[in-house]
Amino acid sequence: MRTRIAVGLLTSAALALTTAVATGTAAQAKDRPCGRPVETSGTGSQGTPWTLKSQYDDDGTPPNRLVAGEEFEIATAAAGQRWSVSFTDNGTEFFRNDNDISIATGIREVHPNPVGRSVGNHMAAHAEHLDASGNVIEVIDGAVDLAPPPARCAR
């Protein structure tokens, strides 16, 4: 009987702690000074799933601490696939890797770009799966739009 009570108390405590941590993390993300991320997902021309997320952050290099970051994930079917991946912000390329080799879980690229305060940002990712000869097997294009950053972000 005492064992059941102890197990019950431990289970209740673990559940309460898990709930508090999850709730605290969600509240913290909700109250970020630069706002919530914008996210989209889809499939490439041959059905490979992908996700693109972008958000403002205040952890850039001074003097322009404000950045718009992109996080792009491709859920490849296997390790060893060669992809060419590029990121643009309002049509201007700020990241490119023409020899991005997938691991077992796929490809994940995360890169920030310094941005201004007065305009929104059209964040886009383009990826091409290439065979050994460099021929394109599959194409992925994704984009999200960020409204101008809130005034409370990165002053």
Contact 107, 83 (CB under 8 A): yes
The per-residue pLDDT for range 24-59, each reduced to its tens digit, is 444 444 566 788 999 999 999 999 999 999 999 988
Residue 137 has a pLDDT of: 97
DSSP of the chain, one letter per residue?
-HHHHHHHHHHHHHHHHHHHHHHHHHHHHHT-TT---EEEEEE-TT--EEEEEEEEES-S-TT---EEEEEEEE--SSTT-EEEEEEEETTEEEEEEEEEE-BTTBEEEEEEEE--SSS-EEEEEEEEEE-TTS-EEEEEEEEEEEPPPPTTS--
Q: Is pLDDT of 4 > 80?
A: no
The per-residue pLDDT for range 113-136, each reduced to its tens digit, is 998 888 899 999 999 999 999 999
Q: Which residues pair with 129 in a beta bridge?
A: 83, 138
- What is the reported pTM? 0.77
Given the structure tokens 């005492």, which residue do they identify?
2
Q: Which residue has the higher pLDDT, 117 or 4?
A: 117
Contact 55, 69 (CB under 8 A): yes
Residue 70 has a pLDDT of: 95
Cα 113 to Cα 56: distance, rounded to the nearest angstrom = 9
